[in-house]
Amino acid sequence: MTKKQELFCIEYLKDFNATQAAIRAGYPERSAGAVGHENLRKPEISARVSDLCKEILDAPKDELKARIKAEYEAVAFSRIGDVLNDDLSINEAAAKINPAVRELSVELISRRPAGESSDDEAMEQITMNHKVKMHDKLPALAQLARYANLIKEDAPFDGEFVLSFRRKDG
């Protein structure tokens, strides 16, 4: 199994989306859907995904709880600045490993062939729009609030909760 296939297996366990796992593992976006589907049909990859699932499910309960809590915290307390460079461009390396990032995309806005610009006749000018989408923080915050017993386990969460404190004298 290649390193890229191993990474695909790990990425697949994040959301069980073969296309997104293929993209995060470094396969080209154009063929990610086909590659993801094809990878899951390969016996060695399917077996590795099963083994990784078993490892996660067989982990001690406290360790699993800590890992789940850490993932919720990463999403709940994420900031867009965590994946931006100082010049406000996207730090793709940071974005790829940040669990709060849901999607990275690049869109071609305009393309001006060399010689059509008065500024620089010799260079082609390409304008790209880079986008980063983060996971919704509210569900992660709700789960953490339940975990910390700030709201009841079965209570619906609309994004607001009130903390009340009692002062004990003496």
Contact at 8 Å (CB) between 130 and 110?
A: no
- Distance, CA of 53 to CA of 59 (rounded, Å): 10
68-123 pLDDT, tens digit each: 888 888 888 888 888 888 887 788 888 777 878 877 777 777 767 666 555 555 66
- What ranges do the domains of the chain cover? 1-58
Specify the 3-state DSSP secondary structure of 105: strand
> 160: which 2 tokens?
């607001």
Average pLDDT, the chain: 79
**What pLDDT, on a 0 to 100 scale, did the predictor assign at position 165?**
47
Contact at 8 Å (CB) between 132 and 101?
A: yes
Give the pTM. 0.41
Instruction: Provide the CATH number for the domain formed by 1-58 in this structure.
Output: 1.10.10.1400
